[in-house]
Structure 1
Amino acid sequence: MDIESKLADLKAMHNLEEPKRSGMDDADIKWRYVKPNYIKANYEFLRGKSQNHLSGSLEQVVENLVKTWEMEASHKADLKQWTTVDYKNYQVSCNGSEPVGGEVAKEVGNYNALLQGCPSYEKFGPLSFEASHNLFRDSFTEGFPWEVLKVLCGPPNLIFTWRHWGTFSGSFRGNQGHGKLVEMFGLCRVTVTEDLKIQLLEVFLDGESFVEDMEGRCPFPKKNWPTLLLGEPVTQTG
């Protein structure tokens, strides 16, 4: 069965909704390479997520906003064409670091921007946008999905917890994965305008433990995350 049919069956069986990534259909968009296809990514997201937020809920709105932002950061070449940010004021910060401007964040890429200051990630020297993305694509060959766990505070200062996960079936800097589930948890504080344009994205995460796990130096990562971080149990929509 092809991936599109698998996705359709999964949605029908569990009454699930695909993420909505807006701003992809304008014919004038300048893509870094080509327009992305998210069928496989959506399938892996739906089959592996721990939460199923109610349609129209703040959690779902935030999740779609961040997924659209991730698409734009990874694939749109012109910051002015990003629909998720107030591009004149857009900044990114990780773990309390000095925020960097949007153009800088766009050029270095999400992995470099969000793992800055992580000794294990930076020990081999700086990576280009392409090299950093290839590093994780080669590690998580089936995808590296992301989900909102719980929204703690609404706009204009969105605060929410999140989970990133993937099956480590590829290779990370010479360490061969063997199908292990690797998870990363964190928190975001996002300052937005009245129409939900991102002005300041502040991400908090334990990047060092994540990279150590990928390198095989942390075989038993801690999983005792508090209830506040994990949010509510999975509930079906409808």
Structure 2
Amino acid sequence: MSATQSNSLPLWVQDRDKVIEGSTDAQWRYQTPPDYSRSNENLAKESTTHHLEGSLEAIVQNLVRTFEMEVSFKSNPQQWLSVVNDKFRVSTNGGQEYTATELSAKGTYNLFMADSEHYQASAESFESSHQIFHSTFPQGFPWEVLEVYSGPPTVTFKWRHWGHFQGAYKDYAPTGETVEIIGISVARVTDDLRITSLEHYFDNTLFLDKLTAGGKLPSSNKASTCPFSSWFKKVKKS
């Protein structure tokens, strides 16, 4: 498919930067549009697949990246272009289904991880969950489509999430390794390629095992991870 044909596709299955540029009236969660320049650099260097523009793989990848961007940064789910808001449902590993409004409130990390020994999604807010994983993967946590097994209206695809474990995960030491998740998702879409339902399947236990493999941090290190600890010490001395 040529670039001209690609640009004739719905905005939400084009490059997510174009979606951001076109979202002129969006209510941004952090007041300003997100900047994906660093993420784009990492994707160019570290992606294992490079799909032809306009291919089914590229369209699916763009749609899911747009969806993830909108959930993370557009605070009003009514403004999400990538989904049919009143019909949309999302689930992980056959678990509870969430609406767009619920997903907007909980965040993608809490939906993905649920409650387990090493992560309590029910105890985390949208903001705290993002802070945990942004600190764990300070260089980002990119995502790519590996293969697409079936096209619309039921799109089944294999994907890869990865990040460099260079920051502490809660009170567990970083290993410096690249942590990778491979999963399968099923997206049901409309004729104009908006998502009505999304089902994710992956081994989140394996993911958390990797994040706790470095062992607990010593107490002194845990204290030093607080960005305000040195400030508090100065206050006590003064």
CA gap of 1:100–1:44, structure 2 versus 1, over 3 A, is: same
Q: CA offset at residue 217 of structure 1?
A: 6.7
SS in 2 for 1:202: strand
Residue 45 (structure 1) aligned to one of 34, 39, 43: 43
Note if contact 2:175-2:213 (Cα within 8 Å) is conserved in structure 1: no
One-letter code aligned to 1:144: F
d(CA) in 1 for partners of 2:66, 2:113: 20
Residue 181 (structure 1) aligned to one of 178, 181, 186: 178
Structure with the higher fraction of residues in helix conformation: 2
One-letter code aligned to 2:142: P
One-letter code aligned to 1:196: L
d(CA) in 1 for partners of 2:193, 2:100: 16
Task: Tell me whether 1:23 sits opposite 2:32 in the alignment.
Answer: no
- Residue 110 of structure 1 corresponds to which residue in structure 2? 108
Residue 29 (structure 2) aligned to one of 28, 32, 37: 32
d(CA) in 2 for partners of 1:168, 1:20: 27
Q: How many residues get paired?
A: 199
Written as runs of structure 1 = structure 2, the 5 A alignment for 1:133-172 is 133-172=130-169
Q: CA offset at residue 31 of structure 1?
A: 0.4
d(CA) in 2 for partners of 1:98, 1:110: 13
TM-score, normalised to structure 2's length?
Answer: 0.80
* Per-residue CA distance 1:171-224 (angstroms, 9 max, x = gap): 101222142111011000001111111111100010111011101179xxxxxx
Q: CA offset at residue 98 of structure 1?
A: 3.0
- Superposition CA RMSD, Å: 1.6
SS in 2 for 1:210: helix
* Per-residue CA distance 1:9-28 (angstroms, 9 max, x = gap): xxxxxxxxxx8104313331
Written as runs of structure 1 = structure 2, the 5 A alignment for 1:64-143 is 64-122=62-120, 126-143=123-140
SS in 1 for 2:67: helix
Q: CA offset at residue 46 of structure 1?
A: 1.4
Q: CA offset at residue 86 of structure 1?
A: 0.2
Gaps (5+ residues) in structure 2?
1-13, 216-238
CA gap of 1:113–1:217, structure 2 versus 1, over 3 A, is: same
One-letter code aligned to 2:59: V
Gaps (5+ residues) in structure 1?
1-18, 219-238
CA gap of 1:132–1:189, structure 2 versus 1, over 3 A, is: same
Q: CA offset at residue 50 of structure 1?
A: 0.7
Task: Tell me whether 1:207 sits opposite 2:207 in the alignment.
Answer: no
* Per-residue CA distance 1:111-138 (angstroms, 9 max, x = gap): 001112444322x851000000010100
Q: Which has the larger radius of gyration?
A: 2
